[in-house]
A = this chain, B = another copy of it.
């Protein structure tokens, strides 16, 4: 029974964002890739992926050029980015629960015994997502374990 959809699940947009970042990081330096080839490599719908790529451009992780020899290109900041940074570039800050938004997002914060549990669970998850970088995962993508 799901009352209200997928709980605690990464959005498709962020998933495609991570996929496309890893793929771009596997290409030779300064090589550009066109949207259709990126859609094929990631299995993402073309128009949806286009919006994800715009967000990654705005974050300064990749760049795009028009015209001949145009396309999307990985930047060094993007290569160094963690999985968390990519997710947040696409979807905004990760907050396991509304009460994790700083300030007065929930007036029960000070008395609620569940609040520290959400905080600990978020921290444990973010520790993993902070540690894995695009560069590292691109190396694994190029040398898959048998």
Contacts and interface: CB of A to CB of B under 8 A. Distances in A.
A63 to B, nearest CB: 17
Interface string A1-40: 1111111111111110011001000000000000000000
A96 B8 contact: yes
Contacts of A138: 113
A89 to B, nearest CB: 8
27 contacts: A1-B55, A1-B90, A1-B92, A3-B11, A4-B14, A5-B91, A6-B91, A8-B94, A8-B95, A9-B96, A9-B97, A10-B96, A12-B98, A19-B112, A19-B114, A43-B108, A96-B125, A111-B144, A112-B141, A114-B137, A117-B128, A117-B132, A121-B128, A121-B129, A122-B125, A124-B127, A124-B128
Interface of A: 1-15, 18-19, 22, 43, 51-52, 55, 58, 83, 87, 89-92, 94-98, 107-108, 111-114, 117-118, 120-122, 124-125, 127-129, 132, 137-138, 140-141, 144
